[in-house]
Structure 1
Amino acid sequence: MDEAPKDRTNTGPARRAFRFGVVGESICSGAQLLATARRAEDLGYSALVLRDHFVAEPFGDQLAPMVALASAAAATSTLRVGTMVLSNDYRHPVMLAKEAATLDHLSGGRFELGLGAGWLREEYEAAGMPFDAAGARVGRLEESLRILRSLLSGDRTTFAGEHYRIDGLEVFPRPEHRPPLVVGAGSRRMLGIAGRLADTVGILPRALPDGTISEEITERLPETVERKVGWVREAAAGRDVELSMVVTPTFGPDPRRAAAKVAVMRGWGTASTGLVLEMPSQFVGPPEHIAEQMLARRDRYGFTYYQVPDTAMDAFAPVIAHLA
Structure 2
Amino acid sequence: MDEHRRPFRFGVVGESIRSADDLIATARRAERLGYATLTLRDHVVAEPFGDQLAPLIALAAAAGATSTLGLGTMVLSNDFRHPVVLAKEAATLDHVSGGRFELGVGAGWLREEYRRAGMPFDEAGTRVGRLEESLRVLRGLLSGEETAFAGEHYRVDGLTVFPCPGRRLPIVVGAGSRRMLGIGGRLADTVGVLPRALPDGMISDEISERLPGTIARKVGRVREAAAGRDVELSMLVSPAFGPDPRAAAARTAVLRGWGASAAELVLDMPSQFVGPPEHMAEQMSARRERYGFSYYLVPDGHMERFAPVVESLAGR
Partners in 2 of 1:88 and 1:274 — Cα distance? 38
**Structure 1 Cα separation of the partners of residues 276 and 312 of structure 2:** 11
Asked if structure 2 preserves the Cα contact closer than 8 Å seen for 1:18 and 1:323, the reply is yes
The answer to whether structure 1 residue 126 and structure 2 residue 116 are counterparts is yes
Sequence identity (%) = 76
The match for 2:287 among 274, 277, 297 is 297
Is structure 2 residue 314 aligned with structure 1 residue 312? Answer: no
CA offset digits 1:175-208 (Å, max 9, x no partner): 0012100000000000000000000000000000
The aligned residue for residue 81 of structure 1 is 71
Provide the C-alpha distance between the structure 2 equivalents of 1:183 and 1:45, rounded to a whole number of angstroms.
Answer: 20
Correspondence 1:1-324 to 2 at 5 A: 15-324=5-314
Taking the aligned partners of 2:171 and 2:99, their CA distance within structure 1 comes to: 13
Structure 1 position 14, deviation (Å): 5.8
Residue 283 of structure 1 aligns with an amino acid whose one-letter code is F
Matched residues, number? 314
Q: Following the alignment from structure 1 to structure 2, what is the Cα–Cα distance between the partners of residues 259 and 246?
A: 17
Deviation at 1:323, TM superposition (A): 1.4
Q: Distance in 2 between matches of 1:100 and 1:12?
A: 29
In 2: Cα distance, 1:178 partner to 1:253 partner: 43
The alpha-carbon deviation at position 13 of structure 1 amounts to 6.5
Letter in structure 2 aligned against 1:318: P
**1:212 aligns to what SS in structure 2?**
coil
Deviations 1:38-72 (A, max 9, x none): 00000000000000001000000000000000000
- The question of whether the paired residues in 2 share the 8 Å contact of 1:14 and 1:240 is answered with no
Cα distance per residue 1:146-172 (max 9 Å; x no partner) = 000010010100000000000000000
Gaps of 5+ in 1: 1-10
- Following the alignment from structure 1 to structure 2, what is the Cα–Cα distance between the partners of residues 246 and 21? 9
Q: Deviations over 1:48-107 (max 9, x none)?
A: 000000100000000000000000011000000000000000000000000000000000
Whether the 8 Å contact between 2:4 and 2:291 is mirrored in structure 1 is: no
Q: Is contact 1:149–1:178 with CA below 8 Å preserved after alignment?
A: no
DSSP 3-state at the match of 1:141: helix
Q: Is the 8 A contact 2:4 2:289 kept in 1?
A: no
Structure 2: which 5+ runs fail to align? none
State the distance in 2 between where 1:287 and 1:194 align.
Answer: 31
Q: 1:157 to 1:36 in 2, by over 3 A?
A: same
**C-alpha distance in 2, partners of 1:320/1:48?**
14
Q: Is the 8 A contact 1:115 1:182 kept in 2?
A: yes
